[in-house]
Chains A and B, each alone.
Chain A
């Protein structure tokens, strides 16, 4: 009985959303009949890219957005901090504003009008989302750590009992089988990277959320840290295996050495691309499905697109944890290879 009511509610929500989208499409059709054509790729790239403002929604001509701080560093001027509001147009007809010799190009990127070179370390939408995710991580895991201290030896309770199986899974199913005895050294990194990726994947799925884990800079830095940990924890066996792979004929060595050396970097490179591509692709698919409504300008397409993008969103919820798991698992495997003890080289190959 209850599930039926719930089903009915969800269905009516679907219909309302779909009709709503259709109506919006119709309205925009009428309002912007004379304006430029709807540019789906611009919309998608705007959504998955970074920005200096956090844009939530546009109602009519009112933009609901937060202007984020711009932080620039240049050798001649030092550190410059100002709000992005200074560089924003207040209506379409206004020319692009210039502030302190800075303006924005058509991609929304800050450029110097005088051709000066500077470093942009602004709190962009992605950085703000990153900070938000850090607050969530701290909030969640400090409270869990507190429960472990307060309820020593007792059964988990509340949020602790939700996260405990995941933590135990990462320890017993990812760290221990892949790394072995030395897993405790790597466990904090594996746990951090798993929950960091998962939480940011989920934040990215929220309406208006930033596409942080679908950003190449983020996946690059995560993969870089995995690479650094792997290289620095590599033992003699690991390096021997790369530089003087046991059990292969002499004439193969000149070929194998570069292959092995490339292998050091190709592993984290695959980590970087996999996470970036999976998350970005998910966002692109959902945005494309929703964009169909505006391309075809039909409420029928709106209904179908809403259903499909809901299904896709559910799939993305799964992908969010799956990619976190894959990244953690592969990192653990690389660490495991770096610290593995080969007792009998010749038997092994």
Chain B
């Protein structure tokens, strides 16, 4: 059989068989293989992109967390400062009020002392007046026990009506 002349029998079988192989393999082998490959590649790609997305989300979440934390810290600092401020204001106010109250109390005490003093002085005066009247009465009683003395006194009173004592 010649080397470069195609033999009809082989040509016939080759074309027939090859076309059958092509059709059968395309339908039952290449189709599931290619679609399987594609499916797997797509799922891998999807998984990768999802992982990337999750990572990004994690990063943003972390950033968010940090931001939140920083905000919280700031808030806390602010609150603390405010509290301190309020506390000092309260103390200041308390101090002021207590000072005022103390002053008022002192004032009241002073006034009371004054009143008491005055009352005491008045009483003392009255007592002194009573006692001196008493003494005077006794002295007068003793001095005017004689008629002569009574006459002298009347004389004197008539002479100097304005002078008492």
Question: A142, A148, A217: which contacts B37 (Cβ < 8 A)?
Answer: A148
Residue contact A167 to B6, C-beta cutoff 8 Å: no
Query: B15: which of A109, A216, A221 is its contact (CB, 8 Å)?
Result: A221
**Which stretch, B28-36, B98-106, B117-125, B142-150, touches the partner chain A?**
B28-36
Is A220 interfacial (CB 8 A cutoff)?
yes
Of A138, A164, A167, the residue contacting B24 (CB under 8 A) is A138
Partner of A121, one of B13, B21, B26, B31: B13
Interface of B: prevailing SS:
helix
Q: How far is the CA of A312 from the CA of B2 in the complex (A)?
A: 25
* Chain B residues with CB below 8 A from A144, complex form: 29, 33
Q: Does B21 lie within 8 Å of A216, measured CB to CB? A: no
Residues of A within 8 A of B39 (CB): 152-153
CA of A216 to CA of B5, assembled, Å: 7
Report which of B8, B17, B25 forms a contact with A119, defined as CB distance below 8 A: B8
* Residues of B30-70 whose CB lies within 8 A of A: 30-37, 39-40, 43
- Chain B's closest residue to A123 (CB) is B13
> Which B residues lie within 8 Å of A124 (CB)?
7, 9-10
Q: Is the CB of B29 within 8 A of A130?
A: no
**Is B158 in the interface zone, CB < 8 Å from A?**
no
| B159 beta carbon closer than 8 Å to chain A | no
B115 at interface (Cβ–Cβ under 8 A)?
no
Contact A152 B36 (CB under 8 A): yes
Q: A-B contact count, CB below 8 Å?
A: 126
Interface residues of A in 102-120 (CB under 8 A from B): 107-109, 119-120
Complex interface bits, A229-273 against B, C-beta within 8 A gives 1, otherwise 0: 000000000000000000000000000000000000000000000
- How large, as a class, is the contact surface on chain B? 35 or more
Inside 8 A of A108's CB, which chain B residues have their CB? Answer: 1
Set A109, A130, A148, A149: member contacting B17, Cβ < 8 A: A130
Residues in A with CB closer than 8 Å to B14 are: 127, 130, 217-218, 221-222
Query: In whole angstroms, what is the CA distance A217 to B36 when docked?
Result: 35
Are A192 and B30 also in contact (CB < 8 A) when A121-B12, A216-B3 are? yes
Chain B residue nearest to A191 in the complex (CB): B30
A329 interface contact, C-beta 8 A? no
Name the B residues within 8 Å of A168 (CB-CB): 37
Residues of B within 8 A of A107 (CB): 1
- A217 near B25 (CB under 8 angstroms)? no
A318 close to chain B: CB less than 8 A: no
**Distance in Å from the Cβ of B13 to the closest Cβ of chain A?**
4
How many angstroms between the C-alpha atoms of A164 and B33 in the bound complex?
9
Q: A130-B14, A137-B21, A221-B15 are in contact. List 9 more A-B contacts (CB 8 A).
A: A50-B7, A123-B13, A124-B10, A127-B10, A142-B28, A148-B35, A164-B37, A216-B6, A280-B3
A selection of 14 A-B contacts at a CB cut-off of 8 Å is A50-B7, A108-B1, A121-B9, A127-B14, A134-B17, A141-B33, A145-B28, A148-B37, A187-B34, A192-B18, A215-B10, A216-B3, A217-B10, A217-B11
Which chain B residues have a beta carbon within 8 Å of chain A's beta carbons? 1, 3-15, 17-22, 24-26, 28-37, 39-40, 43
